[in-house]
Amino acid sequence: MSRQLTAIRHLDTDTIRALIDDAGKLKESVVSGKEIRSGKARSIGLLFFENSTRTRVSFEQAASHLGYRVVNFSGSGSSLSKGESLKDTILTLKNEGLEGLVMRHKASGSAALGASYFGGPFVSAGDGQHEHPTQALGDALTIKERLGKVEGLKIAIVGDVLHSRVARSNAWLLSKLGNEVRFVGPRSLIPAYTAKLPGEVHYDLRSGIAGADVVMCLRLQRERMEDGRLSSTGEFSRNYQINRVSMRAAHPDAIIMHPGPINRGIELDDLAADAPNSAILDQVANGVFVRMAALKWVFEGEKA
């Protein structure tokens, strides 16, 4: 059986730790210019049904450090616009000889489905509002570097939790590693039923980030105004923006994180985004190394 990384929810703690550790080692090698022994050169497909620049570039960089060849394939201008099904698209790529597949798709649950069609090494680059596993792995590496550990911490995930795959993946990962996870945001953006999500809910920003070691902002999308969940961005930022004032409730050494792209002045102000305790650019950098680790991991499964 090939290994497939579709959701943090399905990973055990040992695997999560191993992936983070390996990403750390790969980072050292890349930074020090050491040769990376990743075995055979592989060809992988990057299949993006949803627009993404950051994640796609991150996977391309990861693949290039590993010496893998990358084939890009995007939803628009492809067979998809000709009505081909997800299944046939993936079976085609598989039979064109791609050895591994990275996929992003707008439908929740499409990662596991795509992986089952592909039947080989597979890494999800995000499926709908379900999960974004490599983002969470990169965030965990960042926390570990900044705070020296990823356990026993208080983590506040702030903003549009309802629609966020980043929130879900991070909540699973961080709770599995023994951290306290809090979901913070207005009622209209927090799931009404959270019994199956690993975190406690705070509708008040102050209580939500009180004593937090990590404050993780989420991107606020314009659609949230269009669907009537918020009257304005101003309404949100008055109550939930992470800035110097609101951060006073957090632990004095707390770090600020954001999966990007940032809406400056909405969920985060300039001061917080650019502050020394902002880890946002580390997250971006580490994204490459965890994606290397993830790609290596799924291919290692093939040998076993």
Partner 1 sequence: MRTLFSKGRILDPSQEMDVVGSVLVEDGQIINVGGDIEAVDVDEVYDCTGLWIAPGLVDLHTHLREPGEERRETIKTGTQAAAAGGFTTICCMPNTSPPLDTPSLIDFILDRAASPEAGGIFVAPVGALTQGQLGERVADLGSLKKAGIVAVSDEGGPVQDSVVMMRAMETCLQLDLPILVHCEDLSLSRSGSMNDGATAAMLGLKGMPRSAEEIMIMRNCVLALNTGCRIHILRLSTWGAVEMVRQFKFLGAPVTCEVCPQYFTLTEDAVGEFNPNFKTTPPLRTQVDIDLLTQALNDGTVDCIASDHSPYAPFEVDVPFEEAPFGMAGLESAVGVTLTELTQTGILSPLETIRKLSTAPAEILRLEAGTLRPGGTPVAQITLIDSNVEWTYDVNRTFSKGKNSPFHGKELRGKAVLTYCGNEVYRDPHFHNDRYARQ
List residues binding partner 1 (CB under 8 A). Answer: 9, 85-87, 105, 107-110, 112-113, 127-131, 162, 165, 168, 191-197
Minimum CB separation of residue 289 from partner 1 in Å reads 26
Q: How far apart are CA 220 and CA 66, in angstroms?
A: 34
Minimum CB separation of residue 197 from partner 1 in Å reads 6
Q: How far apart are CA 299 and CA 304, in angstroms?
A: 9
Q: Which two tokens stand for residue 304?
A: 């076993």
Nearer to partner 1, 164 or 179 (CB): 164
Minimum CB separation of residue 295 from partner 1 in Å reads 23
Minimum CB separation of residue 165 from partner 1 in Å reads 6
Query: According to DSSP H, which parts of 100-232 are helical?
Result: 110-118, 133-147, 165-176, 205-209, 223-226
Minimum CB separation of residue 82 from partner 1 in Å reads 16
* C-beta atoms surrounding 274 within 10 Å: 13
Q: How far is CA 79 from CA 68, 74, 85, 92, 129, in A?
A: 25, 9, 9, 10, 24
Minimum CB separation of residue 67 from partner 1 in Å reads 33
Nearer to partner 1, 223 or 235 (CB): 223
Nearer to partner 1, 172 or 289 (CB): 172
Q: How far apart are CA 168 and CA 163, in angstroms?
A: 9
Report how many helices (DSSP H) and strands (DSSP E) the chain contains, helices first.
11, 10
Nearer to partner 1, 13 or 108 (CB): 108
Nearer to partner 1, 194 or 239 (CB): 194
* In contact, 1 and 301? CB cutoff 8 Å: yes
Minimum CB separation of residue 88 from partner 1 in Å reads 9
Nearer to partner 1, 40 or 106 (CB): 106
Strands (E), the chain: 4-5, 43-48, 69-74, 100-105, 122-127, 154-158, 180-184, 200-202, 214-217, 255-257
Nearer to partner 1, 135 or 243 (CB): 135
3-class state of residue 181 by DSSP: strand
